[in-house]
Amino acid sequence: MLMEYFKKMLTLFDLSSKIALASWLLSSISPGVLPHLIGLDTNAHIWNAIVNLYGSKTTSHLMFYRRALHSQKKGELSMREFLVKIKGYCASLASCGESISEHEHVTAILNGLPLEYESVITIITVSPTPYTVQGVTIMLLDAKAQQLSSVLEALASTNMVTHQPIRQDVKSEPTPAFCQSTSARGRGRGRASGSLF
């Protein structure tokens, strides 16, 4: 008699937990999705319908983010903005269930760089030890800082040359003054001195 009581209680508990799970699933669904779940009677059916409904959206997001990751170019973006954009696409792919390897992340970064970074790209690609995303990021930010430093140095030296004071102790020949010729000979080709054209 006691064993029969436990069996009935277990059956009721099992049934109530299934109902509770179905209730929780249906209550956590947005009202726009509920019509897609009408008539489904088991938790498995409800869950499979949700997976099928959202699975297609995840696939389209995956395709969008993967294409964006591999087609992103630095262009007019700063180096930091470019690297953050690439990292954002990798994070978006991970949120869709597709993790991006270090190698693919580094490849996406290198493929998006302009020709001015060709020397850095060569160093990274010929290295016997693969670079991490963090290593590539540091190298690119350092390269950009060096480029800016070189430009500023070049501008400073140009500015120095153009603003040099004139030395008074250097003797130079006087520059000849231009004299208007009174005769028409030797000036120009084929025109007489009195012609209009």
The pLDDT tens digits of the residues spanning 7-54 come to 555 565 555 666 676 676 667 777 777 777 777 777 777 777 777 776
Cβ neighbourhood burial of 25 (10 Å; 0-12, 13-18, 19+): middle
Instruction: Say what angle helices 2-27 and 43-71 make with each other, to 10 degrees.
Output: 40
Residue type, position 170, single letter: V
Residues 102, 131, single domain; the answer is yes
SS3 (DSSP) at 123 = helix
Tell me, what's the pLDDT at 173? 57
The pLDDT tens digits of the residues spanning 73-89 come to 999 999 999 999 999 99
| Number of domains within the chain | 2
Residues 76, 151, single domain; the answer is yes
Tell me if 4 is assigned to some domain: no
Residues 89, 40, single domain; the answer is no
